[in-house]
Copies of this chain bind each other. A is one copy, B any other.
Amino acid sequence: MNIGEIARRAGVSRSTVSYVLSGKRAVSATTRQRIQAVIDELGYRPNASARALKEGRTRTLGLVIPPANQRLTDMQLGFVASVVEAAARHDLDVLLSPSGGDHDRSFERIVTGRRVDGVVLMEIRLTDDRVTRLATAGVPFVTIGRTAEPHGMSWIDVDYAALISRCVHHLADLGHRQVALVNRSAELVAAGYGPSHRALAGFRAATAERGLTGIDVCCGDDTASGEAGMTQLLATHPQVTAVATINEAALPGMQRALHAAGLSVPGDFSVTGVAAQHWAEDFRPPLTAADVPTRDMGAEAVSLLLELIATPGGTPRHRLYAPPISLRESTGPARTR
């Protein structure tokens, strides 16, 4: 089933069928209707490969996600969902590439096979080979997260430094003197994971500014790690009365450890941080936290990418999100343990 078959059945040339489809040339009402009838009857749609070859664009966006062997965090999942949704609104398809390793066939196909018109890159590191790879290959791309030197590229990111800083100030205002940061996993930090490093920087700056004692610990992205990490923190730093975290998946475990230690929140201990809304609302009591607007961010990433594709010589743009801290019920005045 191709355009020639439609043309034959409608008794017209292929170009006329093409112009009915694109509307780029006037076609008389009668022939247009005749052609449209045949198209509808046979359920014809142009072959995507042929069209892509001819037009030089695929109407497809690439989305590079973390390797499939590790479970996506809720925030990552939120980005994926919103990117896919935003792309669909523009009638664009999304090609998934689970990339993170060194030599990645899937990623290479995307970069150099002209399979996509542009790429959204997730989970990037402070120094990230994939970014330079895409840049040299001349593929338009937008990153969710940013490298250490993001000048000249399009990106969106959460301002972890500012958000964690705000959390610390909030805790300081409540009278807390020793606070801890529960970060993501040590592996991630070692790999130069931006959010971890920037959150830590913000934490250190804020604790210094307010004269607080700041402890920072790494923690795996799961309940068990959260429980173990919090248990250890409570044992080794008995003076700590509050934590801020960017590790949403550890929250249930942290809660469990606090409960096991006989500490009530926020009476004996305060908890705050940055988390997807779902985690914050499921915490008991509901978590005072910055809710990351993953939905808006994915849409914005697609928007920036389309801009980049439309105007190849255009100026890259970026956007740093610092959503407000939603005051819920997990933080309160300091009380010595």
Contacts and interface: CB of A to CB of B under 8 A. Distances in A.
Nearest to A108: B45
A115 interface: yes
Contact of A252 (B43, B95, B106, B282): B282
Nearest to A99: B88
- 9 A-B pairs with the lowest CB-CB distances in the bound complex, closest first: A68-B85, A49-B52, A68-B81, A49-B53, A48-B113, A45-B112, A48-B115, A223-B282, A94-B96
Contacts of A108: 45
A60 interface: yes
Interface string A20-40: 000000000000000000000
B98 A85 contact: yes
A9 interface: no
Contacts of A47: 53, 113-114
A115 B58 CA distance: 10
For this chain, the copies found in one complex come to 2
Interface of A: 43-50, 52-53, 58, 60, 63, 68-69, 71-72, 74, 77-78, 81-82, 84-85, 88, 91, 93-98, 105-106, 108-110, 112-115, 137, 222-224, 252, 256, 278, 281-282, 284
A88 B84 contact: no
Contacts of A82: 68
A85 B69 contact: yes
11 contacts: A43-B112, A45-B109, A45-B112, A48-B109, A68-B84, A71-B74, A71-B78, A71-B278, A88-B105, A91-B105, A252-B252
Given A68-B88, A223-B282, 13 more contacts: A43-B112, A44-B112, A45-B113, A48-B113, A49-B50, A49-B52, A71-B77, A71-B78, A84-B98, A93-B95, A93-B109, A222-B278, A224-B281
A98 B43 CA distance: 21
Contact of A77 (B72, B105, B115, B284): B72
A88 B81 contact: no
A222 B279 CA distance: 11
A165 to B, nearest CB: 29
Determine which residue in A68, A85, A108 has the highest number of CB atoms from chain B within 10 A of its CB, and name it: A68
Nearest to A91: B105
Contacts of A284: 256
A48 B114 contact: yes
